[in-house]
Amino acid sequence: MAALRRVDEETAVLFDDASALTRHLEAEAELPRSAPTAKHERTSMSRYLLIESRDPYAGNETGGYAALAGQLKSAGHDVALFLVQNGVLPVRAEARCAELRDAIGARVEVLADEFSLRERGIDAARVLTGVQVAPIALVIERLAAGWKTLWH
């Protein structure tokens, strides 16, 4: 079973695929909002950090994840797609990955882990236009800033 894990809440929630996660987020968005509290302040726009560690050439599941990033962005949320480990493979300028290009076109902030690029022999100067090379420390910064985080 492939699992997407939402780790921004106190209790982690597992999803079988990107479609299940999308349905959950849509249902969550339709819930009536209670008055903000000091602990959980609600805003109309959320910030999502999606972390992808698998390459899109191994199966269909990762393409749905990039599509989810685009859907969240078009719904008005701040979205960053952080690619790590084999997830950096499609950032090569010559790579073919329509879903990643669509996410970039949707103005999703696409980030590639600098260490993962080096480990796979991918020159940071030759990454796809629209992809920023970033350190893994960025994930920690976003977690600390309260971004809703999903890891695949």
pLDDT at 32: 61
Model pLDDT for residues 107-142, shown as the tens digit of each residue: 999 999 999 999 999 999 999 999 999 999 999 999
Return the H-helix or E-strand segment holding 18: helix 18-30
Return the H-helix or E-strand segment holding 6: strand 4-6
pLDDT at 63: 62
Model pLDDT for residues 19-73, shown as the tens digit of each residue: 777 777 777 766 665 544 444 444 457 999 999 998 887 766 656 788 889 999 9
Q: Which of 17, 8, 4, 1 is nearest to 152 (CA)?
A: 4
pLDDT at 40: 47
Phi, psi of 48 (to 5 degrees): -115, 135
Helices (H) and strands (E) in the chain, counts: 5, 7
pLDDT at 42: 46
Contact 91, 129 (CB under 8 A): no
Domains and CATH numbers, the chain: 1-30 (no CATH), 47-151 (3.40.1260.10)
Model pLDDT for residues 67-107, shown as the tens digit of each residue: 889 999 999 999 999 999 999 999 998 888 888 899 999 99
Of the chain, the end-to-end C-alpha distance in Å amounts to 12
Q: Which of 31, 111, 106 is nearest to 70 (CA)?
A: 106
